[in-house]
Chains A and B, each alone.
Chain A
Amino acid sequence: MNDQKSESEIPEDSSSPLGSGMTKQEYWKKNITCVLSLLVVWFVVSYGCGILFVEQMNKISIGGAQFGFWMAQQGSIYVFVVLIFVYVRLMNRLDREFTSTCQNEEKVQTEGEDQS
């Protein structure tokens, strides 16, 4: 087990031969940014509006309900659904950008990524 390699030594296509494309690290970084920013919304609508700042939110009303209460029992759930579909769209777009880079690379390098 020679597993003492440092991260920089791990073989990784750190730069794309085509220049315009996206590397694995860039893909992963964008993925994390996307997830984190959506999780901020996730946190704000549930823990923020529904629990931590519920009194302040309750000063507003939505129909016959106080907003904080409504967020805790209804609103946060609707936002959760929307969040997942936004995530699906963003990630599908990111995946397309990434795979098109890889396919170009495959054409250039002939040795393809053996995934799937």
Chain B
Amino acid sequence: MEVKYWTYLIVGFTFAVYIGIAIWSKAKSTKEFYVAGGNISPIANGMATAADWMSAASFISMAGLIAFSGYGGSVFLMGWTGGYVLLAFLVAPYLRKYGKFTVPEFIGERFYSKTARLVAVLCLIVVSVTYVIGQMKGVGVAFSRFLETDYNTGLFIGMGIVFFYAVLGGMKGITYTQIAQYVVLIFAYTVPAIFISLELTGNPIPQLGLIGNVSDGTPLLQKLDTVITELGFGKYTNNVMGSKLNMFAYTLSLMIGTAGLPHVIIRFFTVKKVSDARLSAGWALIFIAILYTTAPAVAAMARLKFTKTIQVDKVGEVSGNIKYEKRPEWFKNWEKTGLLQHEDKNGDGRIQYYNDADKSFASVASEYGWKGNEMTKIDKDIMVLANPEIAKLPGWVVALVVAGGLAAALSTAAGLLLAISSSISHDLLKGIFRPQITEKQELNASRISMVGAILLAGYFGLNPPDFAAGTVAIAFGLAASSIFPVLMMGIFVKRMNREGAIAGMIAGLGVTLLYVFQHKGIMFIPGTSYMGGMEENWFFGITPNAFGAVGAIVNFAVAFIVSKMAKDPPEEVQKLVEDIRLPQINEN
């Protein structure tokens, strides 16, 4: 059967499952809509959290990113998993004990201030919307490439599915759908990885394959280092990203950003008790770790496979480079999409792929008669999607990967949309502007704001702003520099007051935004970056993406200084802090 029909079959089947779950789990109360009734089991919630967390970026982009950055790519692996340790130790149990529906609600009550709540809502919406745009785009791309519909139709189908189960079921529908989506995505990710690992190293477990040997007896990683350094690239296993300090700050930003992402935090409101919240974070990390420990294996193997496809034999000999007309089928398919491009610079009808930016190797290469790197474009995002084709796996595996990518994108989009809609209906409407509305009206309002959020996300999906790629920096920077510190101080510093918290949030946010904008352009409009993206202007060599950690430090510092100048929080707030620190006495 052709790949296309397999894709229709598998994607169609998974979508039918999602819709079935939606009908079965319609939310009837605000509690069901916001926190799925508050009685999800820790394992189920862990699985849903994992699907919620692993987005199209984790599924599609991460392995490709690591493949081409080697050791430097470790920041993503450590950052996006280590954040769960912080979440489990410092955030989830206390906010679960607090026992309400949204993150801004906690911030508002802890800092006895509607302004603080409003600032928190604002951060939440900016973080979640920037995040959701990427997911919608992923859905559109997956559809257009594999189901041969056009991009817009793909996007509408994706929106329709999310609309159905998120609006009907709220958190309840989303939770059960996410469990199904986790199963689909993890299966889709590991199956091709197993095949590739088996082929390259003879070991079916990719994590072991990574430290195993290739067929000629040399270790996989050593082989990879040799193959790519012969072509002038940096060594895979010690290729640092920027500098040590940058890697440190980058990892820290991702970790504290993870622990401050509202759509992840609210998942811990769905379990029954505090001890379940802790346990659930552990299960979530197990489910996430399955993908995150597979990804570096996929990365290294894909890089080796990809390089060897082009450089089939000894570097420097004419026959060492593959003839362009003999390029494999997957190569042709991706060329059609424009994500892979070749230009025969020296007119020899063969492909040369090497690092022409490395001066000493470039001069060696010119002696071979090479006139520059001929792979003019390699989009890193294609690595995971192309992997099954590169490994010559059957059509149903390719189809499975498409369904997995869609599951990753849809599950994350739904979680984000819920975070947005609950902060609009619960925080803005019920909490600040219209406290008198009934539960029924609030439930309707949250459904309407969910529809609004989906339409907004769809609009941005149809007209993707140019800045989409740069927004990851903003999303994590905001969460790391504003939400995480304010939660920490709210829980661990009893004396922290309203004035300190608000000043800290604004300062942390301001510094981070300023830094990102000055290097990437105001609102990412090219040409407005008043200091340019130039590396020499980076603060201690820290890239804009890694700046959230610095923003968080500024936030803490400002908050402590300002809080010393204002009055202590009122007694009932201090009581609230004491209360969230203690375990529930009468559990069960």
Chain A residues close to B by CB (< 8 Å) = 1-5, 7, 10, 12, 24, 27-28, 31, 35, 38-39, 42, 46-47, 50-52, 54-55, 58, 62-66, 69-70, 72-74, 76-78, 80-81, 83-85, 87-88, 91-92, 95, 98-99, 102-103, 112-113, 115-116
Are B82's CB and A35's CB within 8 A?
no
CB–CB A102/B77 < 8 A: no
Cross-chain contact B583 with A98 (CB below 8 angstroms): yes
CA distance A96 to B282 in the complex (A): 20
14 CB < 8 A contacts A-B: A1-B570, A3-B571, A10-B574, A38-B89, A39-B85, A55-B238, A65-B219, A69-B74, A74-B296, A76-B77, A77-B292, A84-B278, A88-B88, A91-B278
Given A81-B285, A81-B286, the answer on whether A51 and B237 have CB atoms closer than 8 Å is no
In whole angstroms, what is the CA distance A63 to B585 when docked? 48
Chain B residues near A2: list those with CB within 8 A.
Answer: 571
A35 touches B567 (CB 8 A): no
- Complex Cα distance, B82 from A76, in Å, reads 8
Chain B residues close to A by CB (< 8 Å): 66, 71, 73-74, 77-78, 81-82, 84-85, 88-90, 93, 207-208, 210-213, 218-222, 237-238, 244, 247-248, 251-252, 274-275, 278-279, 281-282, 285-286, 289, 292-293, 296, 494-495, 567-571, 574-575, 578-579, 581-587
Contact of B71 among A7, A52, A72 (CB under 8 A): A72
Q: Knowing A10-B571, A63-B212 touch, does A78 contact B289 (C-beta < 8 A)? A: yes
**Contact assessment for B251 and A99 in the assembled complex, using a CB-CB cutoff below 8 Å:** no
Q: How near does chain B come to A37, taking the closest CB pair, in angstroms?
A: 11
Complex Cα–Cα for A55 and B240 (A): 11
Residues of A within 8 A of B570 (CB): 1, 3
CA distance A21 to B431 in the complex (A): 40
**Cβ-defined contact, A69 with B237, below 8 A:** yes
B82 touches A81 (CB 8 A): no
Partner of B247, one of A12, A51, A84: A51
Q: Once the chains are docked, how many angstroms separate the CA of A4 from the CA of B582?
A: 24
Contact across chains for B285 and A3 when beta carbons are under 8 A apart: no
**Is A12 a contact of B248 with CB atoms below 8 Å?**
no
Q: Determine if B237 and A84 form an interchain contact, defined as CB atoms under 8 angstroms apart.
A: no
Neighbouring A residues of B218 by C-beta, 8 Å:
64
Chain A residues within 8 Å of B583, by CB: 27, 95, 98-99
Beta-carbon nearest neighbor of B248 in chain A: A51
B275–A91 touching, CB < 8 Å: yes
Task: Give the CA-CA distance A27 to B81 in the complex, in Å.
Answer: 28
Contact present for B221 and A28 (CB under 8 Å) = no
Closest to B492 in A: A32
Complex partner residue of A65 from B211, B274, B494, CB under 8 angstroms? B211
